[in-house]
Amino acid sequence: MSRADRVACEDVVMFVNAAVAATAQREFRSAAGTQRLSLAFLHEYVLGNYRDLYAATLALDVNHLNTAMVVTNLLRTAGEASGTQRVVEGRLIAARLRSLPPQRVYGVFRDLRRLGINNRRTRAIVRDWVATRPDLALDAVKYRRSLSVAARHAHLRLPDEVGTALFDWRRPKRYATPILEAWRRAHYEQRALYDLPYTVAEGLAARHGIDRARFLSGIAPRLTAGERLRLQGSAHRHRVDAVAMDLATAPLTRLAIYVLSLPRPERARRRDELTGALRAAARRAARGQARTWGRVVAVLDDSYSAAGSAVKRRRPLAVALATHYLLETLAVDYTGLWLHHRGDPLLVHPVGATGLGARVVDALERRPDRLVIVSDGGDNNPPGLAAEVLRVWRTRLDPDQGTSVVHLNPVYDAETFDVRRLAPGVATVGVRDAEDAAALVELARFATGDAGFAELRQHLADRVERFLDVREAAS
């Protein structure tokens, strides 16, 4: 592989790692402003040098923030694309927007208006997406300002009552559409609040001065699964049993975040319930790959930096905990090694330095088929020991690569425009949700130079083709 191809391969893998892990929020070691500047520069660099591959990342499991940035940047620079590129980009954008949460899509539309992007192609994308919304009246209540911005910017024709609710809501004395009528009445009548979505009703409840416990009890039947999970702590404090949910239905990483938010005595008291829920979520996330990974050992980072930041509290630790249960499902034989914690992983908490080297030695002594390291890469006890252990293992003790090593890093490093790597020759991939770990391991071979740029192009082309086939068939 030529030097130019190697650089291109490294650039694209670096961008994919960032697009999976980075959220432009404060991390343990860097501020939100630094994160935003770093991420914006990386997007501009890859867009300018590898436009086809930049667009192809819409077919990967990149996070919602970076998906929105890619869509906005492609539409902003549409004049720089060839005719063929515009066709493929248009299909990718339309398909990807359908898979995003509506609040993210409306955020893209607001950015397009702020940037003054209002060409025919952009208006068509906005129009087609709004036309697919299953309940536009619900959007007019729940995403009121965002829908009005999109309607003005793209010159949309909205159904009569929806348009009236957005732009002249006080005029009708009554709406025929039930949710619009409930929303109108809720401004004056407390009982009508409980026919609205939680996010809308919450603000109106505060305006009416409704007690929190009473409000949660009344709105409980309207809560989504995600809202129920987020409100578990609030419901417990206010002793509202109606908000309780079946934890076994929650996504794996979100469930791990919830578990770690509980006091350790409560985790111990609910051990059977919480462990069962995590294992059920891991089985769903395995997607038919259970018991296909042979013998696996994981080194899991529970050092103090795994506490994350005020806005991403315990997120790195939650990814490690969720990955522990996922690997337990994927492996025929599995061992999880935490840096500090011993015993029940449910009771893990962030503490101490990041001494990866000694635990990597412990892991390699077991001669696994796969070694998975989940860490922010801040090996500091002593610095660089893990890299040296892995170098000696690869060059002296395992030159035939009988053990594959992959490093999953949930933290974006703004200074290097990538997730921090442990050692040259060790595949490092960014991860945000443990559920994506199995798919992300596919990219590991491109991170070490074992596969060339042509193979990376073909891999992304195949992912784009599969993504479009599935999404367009579903629509």
Count of domains observed in the chain: 2
Share of the chain above pLDDT 70, in %: 98
Q: Are residues 178 and 49 in the same domain?
A: yes
Q: Are residues 154 and 281 in the same domain?
A: no
Q: Are residues 59 and 161 in the same domain?
A: yes
For the chain, what is the mean pLDDT? Answer: 92
> Does 233 reside within a domain?
no
Q: Are residues 206 and 290 in the same domain?
A: no
Q: Give per-residue pLDDT as tens, 293-343.
A: 999 999 999 999 999 999 999 999 999 999 999 999 999 999 999 999 999
3-state SS, the chain, equals CCHHHHHHHHHHHHHHHHHHHCCCCCCCCCCHHHHHHHHHHHHHHHHHHCHHHHHHHHHCCCCHHHHHHHHHHHHHCHHHCCHHHHHHHHHHHHHHHHHCCHHHHHHHHHHHHHCCCCCHHHHHHHHHHHHCCCCHHHHHHHCHHHHHHHHHHHCCCCCHHHHHHHHCCCCCCCCCCHHHHHHHHHCCCHHHHHHCCHHHHHHHHHHHCCCHHHHHHHHHHHCCHHHHHHCHHHHHHCCCHHHCCCHHHCCHHHHHHHHHHCCHHHHHHCHHHHHHHHHHHHHHHHCCCCCCCCEEEEEECCCHHHHECCCCECHHHHHHHHHHHHHHHHCCEEEEEECCCCCCHHHCCCCCCCCHHHHHHHHHCCCCCEEEEECCCCCECCECHHHHHHHHHHHHHCCCCCCEEEEEECCEECCCCEECCCCCCCEEEECCCHHHHHHHHHHHHHHCCCCCHHHHHHHHHHHHHHHHHHHHHHC
Instruction: Report the predicted TM-score, pTM, of the whole model to 2 decimal places.
Output: 0.93
Query: pLDDT-derived band of residue 473, with 50, 70 and 90 as boundaries?
Result: confident
Q: Are residues 262 and 139 in the same domain?
A: no
Locate 170 and state its tokens: 């006080």
> Does 235 reside within a domain?
no
> Does 283 reside within a domain?
yes
> Does 236 reside within a domain?
no
pLDDT at 70: 98
C-alpha span between 40 and 69 (Å, rounded): 9
Q: Are residues 302 and 375 in the same domain?
A: yes
> Does 220 reside within a domain?
no
Question: For the domain that residue 428 is a member of, what is the CATH number?
Answer: 3.40.50
**Any bridge partners for residue 335, and if so which?**
297
**What range does the domain containing 294 cover?**
253-450
Q: Are residues 47 and 113 in the same domain?
A: yes
C-alpha span between 202 and 214 (Å, rounded): 12
CB 427 within 8 A of CB 447: yes
pLDDT at 1: 65
pLDDT at 3: 81
Q: Is the pLDDT of residue 4 over 90?
A: no
Q: Give per-residue pLDDT as tens, 11-67.
A: 998 999 999 999 999 999 999 999 999 999 999 999 999 999 999 999 998 999 999
Domain boundary among 165, 200, 215: 215
> Does 470 reside within a domain?
no
Name the least confident of 94-103, 363-372, 434-443.
Answer: 434-443
pLDDT at 439: 77
C-alpha span between 169 and 158 (Å, rounded): 14
Q: Are residues 31 and 117 in the same domain?
A: yes
Direct distance between the N- and C-terminal alpha carbons of the chain, in angstroms, rounded to an integer: 40
Domain boundary among 167, 185, 215: 215
Q: Is the pLDDT of residue 113 over 90?
A: yes
pLDDT at 401: 86
Q: Is the peptide bond before 316 cis (omega within 30 degrees of 0)?
A: no
Q: Is the pLDDT of residue 385 over 80?
A: yes
Share of the chain above pLDDT 90, in %: 78
Beta carbons within 10 angstroms of residue 263's beta carbon:
8
pLDDT at 290: 92
Q: Is the pLDDT of residue 475 over 80?
A: no
pLDDT at 317: 98
Q: Are residues 202 and 280 in the same domain?
A: no
What is the average pLDDT across 169-180?
84
pLDDT at 449: 65
Q: Is the pLDDT of residue 179 over 80?
A: yes
> Does 227 reside within a domain?
no
Q: Are residues 334 and 388 in the same domain?
A: yes
Q: Are residues 281 and 146 in the same domain?
A: no
Domain boundary among 164, 199, 215: 215
Query: What is the CB-side half-sphere exposure of residue 188 using CA atoms within 13 A?
Result: 5
Query: What is the CB-side half-sphere exposure of residue 457 using CA atoms within 13 A?
Result: 9
CB 100 within 8 A of CB 67: yes
> Does 247 reside within a domain?
no
C-alpha span between 308 and 317 (Å, rounded): 8
pLDDT at 287: 85
What angle is formed at CA 271 by the lines to CA 301 and CA 216, rounded to 5 degrees?
100
Q: Are residues 110 and 207 in the same domain?
A: yes
pLDDT at 38: 97
Q: Give per-residue pLDDT as tens, 205-260.
A: 999 999 999 999 999 999 998 899 989 888 888 888 888 887 878 999 999 999 99
pLDDT at 372: 96
